[in-house]
Amino acid sequence: MELRTRTILVVIITAISCILGIAIAFHFFGAASEQTLHKADPATPLLSPTSAAPSPARTFTATPAPQPSPRITITQENASALVMEDYPMYYSIAAINLTDRFPGKLLYEFILVPTSDSPFHNNQTAYVNAATGDLYSPLQDKAGITIDEAKVRARLSFPQWTIDRVQMKYNDGIRYTRSWEFHLYSGDEELVHGALSPDDGVLDWYALNGPTRFGRPATPVVSMDTAEKTARAEVQNRTGNSLIGLIQSRYDDLGMPGANIAGQYVFLYSNDRPGRKTCENDGFTVVVDSVSGKVQEYWRTWTEQQAYPC
C-alpha cells in the first residue's frame, strides 16, 4: 500500500513539473516574439490615391519630317539658254546668282541689261528653277493652277501631237496679260506657242508656226466657205459653245500685196449667249491657212475693236 502511494505521488509530481515547464516555455517565447516585433523597422505606409504625388507628365515634341533639299539638275549654261529664249532681243546677261530666297526653291537669278540698240531702258530680273528648268515668277504661286497643272493642260490641248518638252512661264500682268504662257516642242522643233488662263487653265490662245512662203501656190487651195466651217468647228470643239455668230470674215495676203503667195482666212465670231448682249472682245478669232485648210491661230477674244458696246 505504501509503495502504491509513493508511485502515485511520483506520477503527480512529474505531471505537475511538465505542465509548469510548458507554461514557462510559452511565457518566454511570447516575450521574445513581442521584443522582436518592437525592434523591427516600421513598414512604409502606402499612399492613398488622393495623397499620392503625381508623376511628372511626359512631353512629346513632334519632330518635323526632314524636307529634301532642292537639287541642282540644270546647268548654268542650260538655264542661260532658257532665259535668252524668253529675252531673245535687246537684252544681255550681266550677272548670274544662285538664290534660295523663295522657300522650297533653288533658283538661278539673272540680271538682264538692255543692249545699246534696245528700245528698253530698265534692267530685268529673270529666274530659272535649278531643279526643273522652269522659268519662275514670284507671283506664280498666287495663280489658280500650278505650273505642273498648266503643263498637263497644255499637253491635253493638243492630243494629236507627240510632245517632248513643255516650256511654261507665268506672266504676272506687268509686261503682258496674266497667263500661263507655253511653248510645246517635238525634239528641237517648236510646234505651238500659246497661253492658258492662270485661274482656270482654259486655253486663251495659240499660234502654230506660220506657213513658209516658199513653194506656196499663188492662189488659195481651200475656199473661204470651207475654211469658215473649219474655224467654227474649232471654236465649238474648244468651248462646247455652238451659239457663236460670225461677225467678220476676210482674206489676208502673205507678204507684200501682189507677191502672188496664197494667204490666210481670218474669221471673227461673237460669243452669243442667251440673255447677254454682244460685247467687244467677247468672242473668238480664228485664222485658217488657205492652202492646208488647217487652223493656224485661235484667240478667245477679238483682235479688232468692234462697235458693240456692252
User: Which domain, by its residues, includes 99?
Assistant: 70-136
- The pairs formed by 235-244 with CB atoms below 8 angstroms and a separation of 24 or more are 235/269, 235/284, 235/286, 235/298, 238/203, 238/298, 239/284, 241/271, 241/273, 243/271, 243/272, 243/273, 243/274, 244/269, 244/270, 244/271, 244/272, 244/283, 244/284
Q: Is it the case that residue 41 has pLDDT exceeding 70?
A: no
Task: For residue 1, tell me if it sits in a domain.
Answer: no
For residue 15, give the C-alpha cell.
505531471
Question: What percent of the chain shows pLDDT beyond 90?
Answer: 53
Any idea what the CATH number is for the domain that residue 268 is in?
3.10.450.40
Q: Residue 142 and residue 133: Cα distance in Å, rounded?
A: 20
Instruction: Indicate whether 278 belongs to any domain.
Output: yes
Position 290 scores a pLDDT of 96
Q: Are 233 and 239 in contact (CB under 8 A)?
A: no
Pairing relation of β-strands 179-186 and 264-271?
Answer: unpaired
List the single range of 40-44, 197-201, 283-287 with lowest mean pLDDT.
40-44
pLDDT in tens, 172-212: 888 788 999 999 999 989 999 999 999 999 999 999 987 67
258: left (phi over 0), alpha (psi -120 to 50) or beta: left
Tally of domains in the chain: 2
Which of 86, 109, 136 marks a domain boundary?
136
Residue 4: pLDDT band (50, 70, 90) is low
Residue 223 has pLDDT above 70, yes or no: yes
Going by their DSSP bridges, the two strands 107-114 and 91-99 should be labelled as antiparallel
Task: Tell which residue, 201, 272, 206, has the closest CA to residue 241.
Answer: 272
pLDDT of residue 28: 45
* Domain-terminating residue out of 82, 115, 136: 136
pTM reported for the whole predicted model? 0.69
Q: What is the mean pLDDT of the chain?
A: 80
Degrees to nearest 5, angle at CA 281 with 181 and 167: 5
- 10 pLDDT higher than 50: no
Is residue 30 a part of any domain in this protein? no
| 298, 244 contact by CB (below 8 A) | no
Give pLDDT tens digits for 58-110: 444 555 555 556 688 999 999 999 999 888 889 999 999 999 999 889 999 99
C-beta of residue 179 within 8 angstroms of C-beta of residue 196 = yes
Whole-number pLDDT of residue 198: 94
Res 254: pLDDT:
86
In a domain, 222, yes or no: yes
Q: Which residue has the higher pLDDT, 232 or 6?
A: 232
* Residues forming beta bridges with residue 288, ordered by sequence position: 265, 295
Residue 177 lies in a domain: no
How much of the chain exceeds pLDDT 70, in percent?
A: 70
pLDDT at residue 298 greater than cutoff 60? yes
Which of 107, 136, 165 terminates a domain? The answer is 136
